[in-house]
Amino acid sequence: MDEERTQSLLQFMANQGLVPTLEEEAKRKNAIEKLNQIVLAWIKKVAWQRRLPKDQITSTCATILMYGSYGLGVHGSESDIDAVCVGPFFATMQEDFFIVLRNMLQSRPEVSELHCVKNAKVPLMRFEFNGISIDLPYAQLKVLSIPENVDILNPFLLRNIDETSWKSLSGVRANKHILQLVPNLEDLLKPDFECSSLFEPFPYAKKYARLVRIFLSASDHDELGDWVGWVKSRFSSLIVKLEEVQGLCDPNPTEYVDLHVAEPNIVFYWGLQPGRSSFTDIDSIKLDFMENIINNDQGSQGRIELSIVEASHLPKNAHFDTGSGKRLKACWRISDYNMQRRRPIYSQYLPHHFVGYVATTADTEYPSAGV
């Protein structure tokens, strides 16, 4: 019955035009190949304009990386293509990408409806290539050449890149991580595939012997919420810095509370894969991360502490051992004196997902809604 329903669903998608035909797929591949050829010619031209040595002009390359639905192979017949142009250190966004490459694209008969969106959080060029809509942001790496098979998860390639380039690459990195979790997306269509296993809590304490502890605190809960939100928005740069020194860093999104600290706080624990050395000095990383936070004016700030902890020393209330199969209710675990005053609220859409606390009528100290 499951197999019949799967085939029926696939047939329905095909009948509704939701599955690209072979001709449509060939058209997309042809557009990507031609776009790659244009980008390769572009970077050679920019290298020549920069008067680089002939051998460097010959060896330099740039490439196009796919992401989004097309990158995952789950696109429909009407889907656009999300791609990112990745270039070397000497090719700038403002001059070389938005002027030189734009002019080269504009001169091509296959390209139409070309627009430059420069003021977006992720600046990009948007155009149609043989009738296929393409969004193309730009990322600049600090290397001379970008091979077609570049490993965008390699932390050494991401060292010292600017924030715009990091944002432009975030979609590609997200796709790579998804494909690592589910190497063959067709498995999801098999009737015996247990989708529920994707949402099982991950046993961090069993997987990693050492973790990064990120402690955030503020004078009251309102300030803590703002402070945590701001710091989390800068986590991407912290991950890059950790991976430069240590290797793979696996961020656990679950938020915990240190009940031994009086002031409102949130604690994160991120897994560390054993690297080239027994990395223990995190002070320099903390200084760099704090500079990243302070340089972007956010307003009132709280306190932050970074440290390395052994998995065997994790607090018992962190509930890292998930072998029992119990779901994590975590995000906020408020200390006892607040629990007496506030009523916990759970999501009506996600069973056991803890949303926050609502003030009771007896709560005079905190008259407004919680978390």
pLDDT in tens, 258-281: 888 889 999 999 988 766 556 667
Domain positions in the chain are 19-181, 204-328
Lowest mean pLDDT among 125-134, 227-236, 359-368: 359-368
Lowest mean pLDDT among 45-49, 242-246, 289-293: 242-246
CATH topology of domain 204-328: Alpha-Beta Plaits (3.30.70)
User: E strands within 88-239?
Assistant: 111-117, 124-129, 132-140, 210-217
Place of tokens 């706080």: 265
What are the residues whose beta carbons fall under 8 Å from the beta carbon of 114, sequence distance 6 or more? 102, 105, 106, 125, 126, 127
Say how far residue 20 (Cα) sits from the centre of its chain. Answer: 28
Pick the more confident residue, 27 or 84. 84
- Residue 219 Rama label (left phi>0; alpha psi -120 to 50; beta): alpha
DSSP string computed for 342-368: EEEEE-SSSTT-EEEEEE-TT--S--S
Q: Which of 208, 196, 168, 180 is nearest to 82 (CA)?
A: 168
pLDDT at 165: 93
The percent of residues above 70 in pLDDT, for the chain, comes to 73
Q: What is the DSSP letter of 111?
A: E
Residue 121 has pLDDT above 90, yes or no: no
Please tell me the pTM assigned to this model: 0.53
Q: Where is mean pLDDT largest: 119-123, 214-218, 348-352, 362-366?
A: 214-218
Lowest mean pLDDT among 164-168, 313-317, 358-362: 358-362
So what's the architecture of 19-181 in CATH? 2-Layer Sandwich (3.30)
Q: What three-state secondary structure class fits 270?
A: strand
Residue type for position 142: K
CA angle, 355 then 357 then 363, to 5°: 170
Question: How many residues appear in the chain?
Answer: 371
User: Residue 339's pLDDT band (boundaries 50, 70, 90)?
Assistant: very low
User: E strands within the chain?
Assistant: 63-67, 81-87, 111-117, 124-129, 132-140, 210-217, 249-250, 265-272, 303-310, 342-346, 354-359
Q: Which of 259, 260, 279 is nearest to 332 (CA)?
A: 259
Residue 75 has pLDDT above 80, yes or no: no
The percent of residues above 90 in pLDDT, for the chain, comes to 29
Enter the tokens of residue 208: 């990693």
